[in-house]
Copies of this chain bind each other. A is one copy, B any other.
Amino acid sequence: MSELDLIREYFSHVGVARRDVALGVGDDCALLRVPRGFELAVSIDTLTAGVHFLANADPDSIGHKALAVGLSDLAAMGAEPAWATLALTLPTADRRWVGAFCRGFARLAESHGVQLVGGDTTRGPLSVTVQVHGLVPGGTAVRRLGARPGDRIWVTGTLGDAGLTLRHLEAGEPVSPYLRERLDRPLPRVAAGLSLRGLASAMIDVSDGLAADLGHILEASGVGAEIALPALPLSPEVAGYVDSTADWTLPLASGDDYELCFTVPPDRCGGVEALAEPSDCRPTVIGVITEKPGLRCIQADGGDWRPSRAGYDHFAEGG
């Protein structure tokens, strides 16, 4: 039995054992049962060494994050996580590395009732692709295209933590445990996403930065938005950074937040306020959907804020 075969053994029992799995890891295909009346929500994502994580990053964190990214996509549709498949490309068959990777993956899988049902292990530059599979009652998934003028814009948790952590790391500066955790082990907002079915008119997860991802909602819905920069939910660390630099690109565009951004008609906002979310991911109103296209970011003095560096496709040209 080769080392890669031994590694495949690790994947046989990752996550919970679900009754809707007719056949898991170990045959040509897994066999899965979708309950009647439900739609299957699927999303596939690759994390590559040197792009999405440092090649020497803690494998436990890489395992966690590879699954978290997908669960965040399920959360953004209001889908309940069910199954995952994993394609792992490894430069060497390092069983210790894979053991730690699986622990990180498995812990998050268990906390969301997910079973790993299929895997492929190949040799090559380090890279992880995960597909997540979730279930959602037919016709109830929350898409990007339902935002209407007047809808309030909400975001869960805080923005810019992962971006600030990366900056500190790149500068060789110390990083608080809170910030490090926000970069390495983001917690997908699955419970919030499920609660928002029937309340949110549009939803997306914030993976590329609020401006870009809210931009996708605006584009899909054919609307614009105004957001109030002082209303953005920030951790003390990011608030301190913005206070001292006046640089809003960090909370608006640094990515890797894995929060949910969603829109809610005004008469349903009470329902969002009533959600029993834990304090670290409670949603905050940050703005309103407008008929006029583009994204306006309004500062405390009422003036428009414009980014000083390029790359913000989704900021309105005209403000």
Give residues in A with beta carbon < 8 Å to B: 1-2, 22-23, 26-34, 36, 39-52, 73-74, 76-77, 79, 85-87, 89, 117-120, 122-125, 127, 129, 131, 133-134, 136, 138, 141, 143-144, 203-205, 220, 313
Contact = CB atoms under 8 A, between A and B. Distances in A.
Q: Pick the most buried of A125, A129, A313: most chain B CB atoms within 10 A of its CB.
A: A129
B46 A120 contact: yes
Nearest to A144: B27
25 contacts: A2-B313, A23-B141, A23-B143, A26-B220, A28-B76, A28-B144, A28-B203, A28-B204, A28-B205, A29-B41, A29-B76, A29-B77, A30-B43, A32-B42, A33-B39, A36-B36, A42-B117, A42-B131, A44-B129, A51-B123, A87-B87, A89-B127, A120-B129, A124-B125, A124-B127
Nearest to A52: B122
A1 B43 CA distance: 22
Contacts of A204: 28
B124 A42 contact: no
Number of copies: 2
Contacts of A46: 87, 89, 120, 122, 124, 129
Contacts of A86: 44
A311 B136 CA distance: 46
B40 A31 contact: yes
Contacts of A45: 87, 120
Contacts of A119: 44
Nearest to A34: B34
A144 B33 CA distance: 20
Contact of A40 (B40, B52, B138, B143): B40
A122 B85 contact: no
Contacts of A118: 42-44
